[in-house]
Amino acid sequence: MSTDFLPIAEIPVPQTLGEHASIWAIRLAMIALVICLGLEIRGRPKTSHLLANLWLFGAIAAFCHSLGALNTFHHGSHAEALQSTADQTQELLGIPIAAGLYFNYLFVATWFADAVWRIAAPTRYQKLPAAYHVVVTGFLVFIAFNGAVVFKSGPFRWAGSASVVALGALWLHKKRNLERNAA
């Protein structure tokens, strides 16, 4: 009996150093994302030295994964990467949609731009409206959730799910404490 939520084709087992590097790059990116979000929920300013640099590290790791996956798993072929994305979506949803690859590119670009902004102009970054942070963080979390939970299986899906639950519990705990202190 499978412990997976959905029947999804297994990602090929990494064979080369490049494949291992690509997979570990995205794992490190997701770890950085979860740690940063956890620290933000606990009240650390987004532009603190630690948080801004860890956020940039995560963005760079996500970029390295994208570049590495394109070159190692898809032989440098954007068309092959699109077909792979369409095949995975076909298996999951019954519809071959390749557009997810473009959302992954947007994910990397958004994360990187946000990270550079935090470091290059921290005062201006801190003054951005809350809506900016909600949209950017929401988009990054949505794509990360899909990549780490929806399109994964086995232990990686469980680790992604546990991360989402842990961040949600941390956020709820903070919200309840704020409400209790306001009363």
Q: How confident is the model at residue 18 (pLDDT cuts 50, 70, 90)?
A: confident
Q: CB count, 10 Å around CB of 59?
A: 25
What is the rounded average pLDDT of the residues 88-112? 94
- DSSP one-letter code for 150: I
Considering the chain, what is the average pLDDT of its residues?
90
| pLDDT above 80 (res 181) | yes
* pTM of the complete model beyond 0.85: yes
Q: Residue 11: inside a domain, yes or no?
A: no
Give dist(CA 25, CA 82) in Å, integer: 20
Q: Residue 1: inside a domain, yes or no?
A: no
pLDDT tens digits, one per residue of 121-157: 999 999 999 999 999 999 999 999 999 999 888 888 9
Range of the domain at 97: 17-182
Q: Residue 5: inside a domain, yes or no?
A: no
Residues whose CB is less than 8 angstroms from the CB of residue 110 and which lie 6 or more positions away in sequence, other chains included: 136, 139, 140
Per the structure, the count of domains in the chain is: 1
CA 129 to chain centre: 22
CA 72 to chain centre: 20
Is 59 in contact with 115 (CB distance < 8 Å)?
yes
Q: How confident is the model at residue 12 (pLDDT cuts 50, 70, 90)?
A: low
Give dist(CA 138, CA 133) in Å, integer: 8
Q: Residue 9: inside a domain, yes or no?
A: no
Residue 14 has what pLDDT? 62
Name the strand (E) or helix (H) holding 161.
helix 154-182
Sequence length of the chain is 183
Q: Residue 51: inside a domain, yes or no?
A: yes
Residue 31 has what pLDDT? 96
Q: Residue 157: inside a domain, yes or no?
A: yes
Residue 20 has what pLDDT? 84
What is the rounded average pLDDT of the residues 43-53? 95
